[in-house]
Amino acid sequence: MTPKQKWLLERLLIPAGILPPALKYEDLKYNEELRQKIGNLGFEYFYLLEQDPAKVNSSPIGGKIYAVHAPPPNFEHSAVENRLLNRITNFIIYRKNKIPPEFSITARKSFVFAKKIGSKVITFHIGQFNHKRIKKDLAILEKLEKRSGITAAIEYEGPYILDYLNFGNYYQQLDGSYDWLTDPSKMINHLDYLYKAKKFKICFDTASLIGCSRPIIQTLERVVSRVTHVHLAGSVPGRDLAGEIDKPEIAEVVDALYKNNYSGYITAEVNGTAGKKEEMQMMIYGISRLLGFSFLQKKTIANAQRHIENSCKYLLKSIE
Whole-structure pTM value: 0.83
Q: CA-CA distances (angstroms) from residue 222 to 65, 119, 179, 185, 242?
A: 29, 27, 16, 7, 22
Is residue 41 scored above 80 in pLDDT? Answer: yes
Is residue 92 scored above 60 in pLDDT? Answer: no
179, burial (CB in 10 Å: exposed 0-12, middle 13-18, buried 19+): middle
The pLDDT score that the predictor gives to residue 319 is 85
Is residue 234 scored above 90 in pLDDT? Answer: no
User: Is residue 237 within 8 Å of residue 305, measured between CB atoms?
Assistant: yes
pLDDT in tens, 102-137: 788 889 999 999 999 999 999 998 878 887 889 999
Sign of torsion, CA 25 30 35 36? positive
pLDDT in tens, 237-250: 444 444 444 455 77
How far is Cα 41 from Cα 62, in angstroms, rounded to an integer? 13
Least confident of 94-103, 137-146, 269-278: 269-278
Question: Residues of the chain with pLDDT > 70: what percent?
Answer: 65
User: Would you place residue 291 in the very low, low, confident or very high pLDDT band (cuts 50, 70, 90)?
Assistant: low
Among 3.30.430.20, 3.20.20.150, 3.30.43.10, 3.40.50.300, what is the CATH number of 3-318?
Answer: 3.20.20.150
Own/partner contacts of 164-170, CB < 8 Å, gap of 24 or more, are 165/75, 165/78, 165/80, 165/82, 165/85, 165/89, 166/80, 167/78, 167/80, 167/127, 170/78, 170/79, 170/80
What's the whole-number average pLDDT of the chain?
76
Instruction: Delimit the domains of the chain by residue range.
Output: 3-318
The pLDDT score that the predictor gives to residue 19 is 63
Contacts of 222 (CB under 8 A, 6+ apart): 184, 185
Is residue 299 scored above 80 in pLDDT? Answer: no
The pLDDT score that the predictor gives to residue 20 is 57
The pLDDT score that the predictor gives to residue 165 is 40
Virtual CA dihedral for 217, 223, 228, 229, nearest 10 degrees? -40
How far is Cα 164 from Cα 279, in angstroms, rounded to an integer? 18
Sign of torsion, CA 5 6 7 11? positive
213, burial (CB in 10 Å: exposed 0-12, middle 13-18, buried 19+): exposed
Other beta carbons less than 10 A from residue 120's beta carbon: 17
The pLDDT score that the predictor gives to residue 162 is 42
133, burial (CB in 10 Å: exposed 0-12, middle 13-18, buried 19+): middle
